[in-house]
Chain A
Amino acid sequence: MGNGVLVFAEQSEGKFRKVAIEAVSEGKRLADKLGTELNAAVIGTGVQDIAAALGAYGATKVYVVDDPALKEYTPEGYAKALARIVNDTQPGILLMGCTSTGRDLGPRVAARLATGIAPDCAALDVNDDGKLVMTRPMFAGRAIAKVVCPDSTPQMASIRPNVFAAAAPEEGKTAEVVKSDAEISPDELRALVKEVIKSAGAAIDLTEAQVIVSGGRGMGGAENFKILEELAEALGAAVGASRAAVDAGWRDHQNQVGQTGKTVAPVLYVACGISGAIQHLAGMKTSKVIVAVNKDPEAPIFKVADYGIVGDVFEVVPIMTEEARKLKAES
């Protein structure tokens, strides 16, 4: 049985993902509770230099696989690299962020190691037996499950972005960087990224955004999203959309919030012209604060909103923008 907590700290273009820092922080909290060590794993190309900084968040060692073949995420390459580190260090727990990479890499590594993984965890803890207890949504959030991985190691979990707090970094504290060689030969990588096509309007990743302004059928048309973009700018927010707005062709599917879109957990979610269908709520109901603006006082969204405004979005939103801009100017 293994010991120690290992966190796969995902980096993108030489910078750690926000959720990677959250995962390292949570890993440290669990390691302290277990009286064991927290280490991290970093994989990519040209990533040696960023690794030591994870020491500020509590990592003792950072195992780095720096390989030209691993610049872009590729399942077999990253799985081989991470499994190698796991086999060398035998952690009891392996964490990662539930990002597009984490959702892909996690199960691949879990199967390779013949162990269990619980994705998209909203809470983690250790029980009296020293086992990881993983809390995660099922049925698009209509039930919450607590699961354990009792008989195999490492116990694997991926964490939902924006839910776990990133620790305050301890200035000057660095981790020991340990080089790990995955011994990857290019022909063993059979699925490779040829090109990355960025989506329109993807400035702030919805799943990492602290504030989201979202529009639904009530917006009436693509051009009307301009007032939401203006509010978003005043609030430093990302712009989301309901399925109705995406299906109507007003916004890109990348911006869709809901069961068949993204699940988000921002500090503030402003729903404009969104009725609040179950499938939309599934994607945003764990937001800390919800504001709803809708002409229809019976709209289901008002049942989950902390603050509801019954009114015309075209009247209400520009005034909210004006007020938000005033606040911004004052600070």
Chain B
Amino acid sequence: MNIVVLVKQVPDTEAKIEVKPDTANIVTENITMVVNPYDEYAVEEALQIKEKLGEGEVTVVGLGPEKATEALRTCLAMGADKAVHLKDEAFDGSDSYATALALSKALEEIPYDLVLCGKQAVDDDNAAVAIELAELLGLPHVAVVTKIEISDDRTKAVCHREIEGASEVVETTLPAVITAQKGLNEPRYASLKGIMGAKRKPLDVKDAAGLGLSPEQVGAQGAKIKVVEMSPPPLRAAGKIVPGEPDEAARETIRLLREEAKVI
């Protein structure tokens, strides 16, 4: 069973985010970049499936600038067999649609039985690429999954999908696109042996032309969504510490919530 895992490099969740003045972009200098945490669950799941079945190849595929190579190497170090890096200035300004389109072209050249991905990237929080890719590839998808069981004959997967207040047990035919939610597994750390070995594993670079994509299909030109403004979040007005002993403060707070804030 061959598995493709989509991986994105994103700013660390602890990173301070600043908007670059007069632009709709953030400052990227001095920001620690990491493998998108939700994609780590996807990589780990692929490796566990491969180990359980004792065969198959795990290929990580990612679209991003030069620096994104590090994220792909990290996945190779975890145990993925191959990496494909979609790298081209022409991809700058891609939205989820343009990214999904580029990935769909790359996947035409990689044999797969299953595509895994994190449920969302923690930079844009769109949670769209994997689902749009499934649509473009004509595959079924199951998103936000906390458990995957591949059938013995490998034609189906039973997934636990997280919805409001419940878990749906969803059965899908394969091949399919499945996105990972926290709790799917515990991603492994790359061992030193894995890190050394990663340097020798194949990492192919593909550009837009090589994938058969024309300029209008990629990057800012191919994007359906354009960011026109970016700003820091609104500051909350300073609050107050309610004075008095804890029991007085407790009573006073309820009174304030009713009479001042008018929320209860």
Q: Does B228 contact A (CB under 8 A)?
A: yes
Contacts of A147 in B (CB 8 A): 225-228
Name the interface residues of A169-206: CB closer than 8 Å to any CB of B: 190-199, 202, 205
B225–A148 touching, CB < 8 Å: yes
A267–B227 touching, CB < 8 Å: no
A194–B158 touching, CB < 8 Å: yes
Contacts of A205 in B (CB 8 A): 164-165
A146–B229 touching, CB < 8 Å: yes
Count: A-B pairs, CB below 8 Å: 252
Band of interface residues on A: 35 or more
Instruction: Select which of B13, B164, B230 is within 8 A of A144 by beta carbon.
Output: B230
Give CA–CA (A181, B18) in the complex, Å.
Answer: 49
Q: Does A268 contact B (CB under 8 A)?
A: yes
A327–B132 touching, CB < 8 Å: no
Name the interface residues of A303-331: CB closer than 8 Å to any CB of B: 304-312, 315-317, 319-320, 323-324, 327
A143–B251 touching, CB < 8 Å: no
Mark contacts of A205-228 with chain B using CB atoms, 8 A cut-off: 1 yes-contact digit, 0 otherwise: 101000100000000000000000
Band of interface residues on B: 35 or more
Give CA–CA (A148, B168) in the complex, Å.
Answer: 34
Q: Does A233 contact B (CB under 8 A)?
A: no
Mark contacts of B167-182 with chain A using CB atoms, 8 A cut-off: 1 yes-contact digit, 0 otherwise: 1111111001000001
A145–B230 touching, CB < 8 Å: yes
Mark contacts of B120-154 with chain A using CB atoms, 8 A cut-off: 1 yes-contact digit, 0 otherwise: 00111111110111111000111110000000000
Instruction: Select which of B97, B141, B142 is within 8 A of A110 by beta carbon.
Output: B97
A residues bordering B, Cβ < 8 Å? 72, 75-76, 79, 99-101, 103-104, 106-108, 110-112, 114-120, 133, 137-152, 190-199, 202, 205, 207, 211, 235, 253-254, 259-260, 267-268, 278-279, 285, 288-291, 297, 302, 304-312, 315-317, 319-320, 323-324, 327
